Structure 1
Amino acid sequence: MGFTYRAYLDEEAKRCKIYACSNCRSHLSTFDHLISKDFHGVHGKAYLFENVVNIVVSHESEERVMTTGKHLIRYISCSGCDEELGWKYASSYIFCILKIKAYERDQKYKEGKFILEKCGLEMINIMTTTKEFIFK
């Protein structure tokens, strides 16, 4: 086992908000990496992100049937507190008559993206400079 380094998104988030773990406040992603708020997770509303930091991705993939079809996912948790946050889409596929995997083209955009459940997120506003802080 080794020491885990956490990424801080302060510089990247000068003009946008940061999404953090609601349990330990580890930075996870920024508003710039948010793709959609129109998703549902296990515990309700969820968001789709392009990039996420400070997470641990499970080694095992799981095939899940969702409203948009079958998806191969890997669960993700916070690297700071081990709180379950959502999942990462590994690939989307359907079974043909010959049981050959074929990708669903309309769902392919999700591959490599992350679902973070809203209940596990907290929004953080970063003050970029002391001057802005004083005069706001």
Structure 2
Amino acid sequence: MAELVGPRIYSCCNCRNNVSFHDDIISKAFQGRNGRAFLFGHAMNIIIGPKEDRHLMTGLHTVADISCCECREVLGWKYERAYEETQKYKEGKYILEKSKIVKENW
């Protein structure tokens, strides 16, 4: 008999609050503050902090840190604006640092 398995989910490493689905990954080739990071098209159960301009590896961006809504752990950031044309695809997307999330239902 086949086991029913739910969607593959990423959760906060601190409190296991669900923050995104595996299917929402756009790229695994990103760098966060603390190492590897993933670019997601959607995130849930998060708090979006104030916007600020930040110089990142790919240029100047307006970003907002994102935190878990349960434990307030900073998980990454949301791209609000990209100033270079080649980086516009990131706008409205989320960076979740690999060290801050764990896999669920794998």
Give the TM-score taking structure 2 as reference length.
Answer: 0.91
What is the letter of the counterpart of residue 82 of structure 1?
Answer: R
Unpaired runs of 5+ in structure 1? 1-12, 94-103, 127-136
Does residue 71 (structure 1) correspond to residue 61 (structure 2)? The answer is yes
Counterpart pick for 2:29 among 14, 17, 38: 38
Match of 2:10 in 1: 19
SS of equivalent residue, structure 2 residue 87: helix
Query: More strand per residue: 1 or 2?
Result: 2
Correspondence 1:44-83 to 2 at 5 A: 44-58=35-49, 60-83=50-73
- Measure the CA separation in 2 of the matches of 1:62 and 1:107: 17
Instruction: Output the CA distance in 2 between the equivalents of 1:30 and 1:36.
Output: 13
Distance in 2 between the 1:54 and 1:78 partners?
Answer: 6
User: What is the CA–CA distance in structure 2 between the aligned matches of 1:84 and 1:69, rounded to whole Å?
Assistant: 22
Task: Give CA-to-partner distance per residue, 1:42-101, whole Å, 9 cap, x none.
Answer: 11111100000000001x2111111111000000100010001000000011xxxxxxxx
Percent identical residues: 47
Report how many aligned residue pairs link the two structures. 102
Q: How far, CA to CA, are the matches of 1:119 and 1:34 in structure 2?
A: 16
Output the CA distance in 1 between the equivalents of 2:51 and 2:17. Answer: 25
Deviations 1:11-48 (A, max 9, x none): xx83x411000110000111110001100111111110
Distance, in Å, in 1 between the alignment partners of 2:41 and 2:82 is 16
Query: 1:56 is matched by which residue type in structure 2?
Result: I
In structure 2, the residue corresponding to 1:109 is in which secondary structure?
A: helix
Give the match's secondary structure for 1:61: strand
User: RMSD in angstroms over aligned alpha carbons?
Assistant: 1.3
Which residue matches 2:87?
A: 107
SS in 1 for 2:86: helix
CA distance in 1, matches of 2:71, 2:57: 30
The letter of the residue matching 1:36 is: S
Q: 1:66 and 1:22 mapped to 2: Cα distance?
A: 24
Q: Which 4+ stretches in 1 moved above 6 angstroms?
A: none
TM-score scaled by structure 1? 0.72
Highest Rg: 1 or 2? 1
